[in-house]
Amino acid sequence: MRWPTYDHDSERNPEKPYRLLADIVTHTSIIGLRVDTRFYTLFKDGRLLIRIGYEWDGGTGAIDDKAMVAASLSHDVICEMTNSDMIPYKWRKHGDWLLVNQLRVFTDSWLLRQWRWARWLVVRVNSEVNRWVLKNKQKGNTG
């Protein structure tokens, strides 16, 4: 697993200040589904290709250290796919496990590695709140 190459510019996009500067491939446990968009492709074998230019917010609600920003990239893509119903919501837990495992890999400090579950919980709670807000906005806009 390699570090993603990205830049940070909160003036360009305050909601999603991180932008991917080079394509990256990660392996997920999401098997048998295919999703293809401008910025990412999920292959049936579980590979997730995230393309240059993808923007994300980092660890939603968490402190964005280097490890959190790196680990949150693929998690944000999976959340985007589940929130927009490109893949069934049941796959969300696979994105959560990927976040926790990547936090373990990307975190240099032994102490911070022990807190990866707490860091995941912060991200999970905040992203669920954001998902609820998005779904309610969509309901309000349609009727």
pLDDT at 130: 73
Q: pTM of the prediction?
A: 0.79
Confidence of residue 10 (pLDDT cuts 50, 70, 90): confident
Q: Is the dihedral of CA 18, 19, 22, 24 positive or negative?
A: positive
For residue range 49-104, what is the model confidence (pLDDT) as tens digits? Answer: 999 999 999 887 777 888 889 999 999 999 999 999 999 999 999 998 898 888 88
How far apart (Å, rounded) are the C-alpha atoms in residues 33 and 110?
A: 35
Mean pLDDT score of the chain, rounded to an integer?
A: 86
Confidence of residue 116 (pLDDT cuts 50, 70, 90): low
pLDDT at 136: 79
Q: Is the pLDDT of residue 110 over 70?
A: no
The closest of 24, 131, 133 to 69, measured between CA atoms, is 24
The closest of 116, 109, 113, 111 to 75, measured between CA atoms, is 116
Residue matched to tokens 């909160």: 10
Q: Is the pLDDT of residue 30 over 60?
A: yes
CB 50 within 8 A of CB 43: no
**What are the CB-based long-range contacts (under 8 Å, 24+) for 10-15?**
13/55, 15/57
How far apart (Å, rounded) are the C-alpha atoms in residues 25 and 16?
A: 20
